[in-house]
Amino acid sequence: MTYNFDPEAWAERQRVLLRRRQAEGELDEAAVQAALAEVERRLEEMWARLEGSYRLPQT
């Protein structure tokens, strides 16, 4: 089984969604900034979990 999750692509989709919601008047600037900070926090958390999770076997 292959797991092809791309944290950067996920974060970019979240950013686009937040900006779209802001443009539609659903979120104000403060809410967008708070949500963007949460996206960045979660992205860092994902990278920390993935760090070193794949290692080539020693030969």
Q: What pLDDT is recorded for position 25?
A: 98
- pLDDT at position 27, please? 97
What is the structure's pLDDT at 45?
Answer: 93
**What is the predicted pLDDT for the residue at 33?**
98
For 18-53, the pLDDT digits (tens) are 999 999 999 999 999 999 999 999 999 988 887 766
**11-15: long-range pairs with CB below 8 Å, 24+:** 11/39, 11/40, 11/42, 11/43, 14/39, 15/39
pLDDT of amino acid 1: 47
* pTM for the full predicted model: 0.77
| Per-residue confidence (pLDDT) for residue 2, from 0 to 100 | 55
